[in-house]
Amino acid sequence: MPVTRTRQLLAELAACHLVDRLAVDRIGMHDLLHLYAGERLKDDSSQEQRAAALARLLSHCVHTAYAAARRLFANLPTLNLAAVAEARPEGRPARRR
């Protein structure tokens, strides 16, 4: 989804008090709304779709962190991002505290 459209939708949700703008690029939501969204996700998407979305999210996080690290540390060894993208998370997610 384009960034402009995403921002429009988030602004609409904030206007309806469904999400809160925590900072310029940070959005938060009530725990019950978060739970409801998770239930809808399970009802409206397949396991394969959820796994693909998780892979895209993790890829984005790795690429963003690596780009930031390269700016901070010019001598950082080259990372094979293609191999990272192929990796799949296994096991259970860490518990929230």
Same domain, 1 and 39: yes
Give residue 55's pLDDT. 85
**How many domains, the chain?**
2
Rounded CA-CA distance 40/35 in Å is 9
Residues 18 and 54 in one domain: no
The per-residue pLDDT for range 86-95, each reduced to its tens digit, is: 666 565 555 5
Tell me the CB-side half-sphere exposure of residue 70, using CA atoms within 13 A: 9
pTM of the model: 0.59
- What are the pLDDT digits (tens) for 20-63? 988 888 889 988 988 998 899 899 999 999 888 888 888 888 88
Phi and psi of 23, rounded to 5°?
-160, -175
- What proportion of the chain, given as a percentage, has pLDDT over 70? 86
| Domain housing 31 | 1-44
Indicate whether 27 belongs to any domain: yes
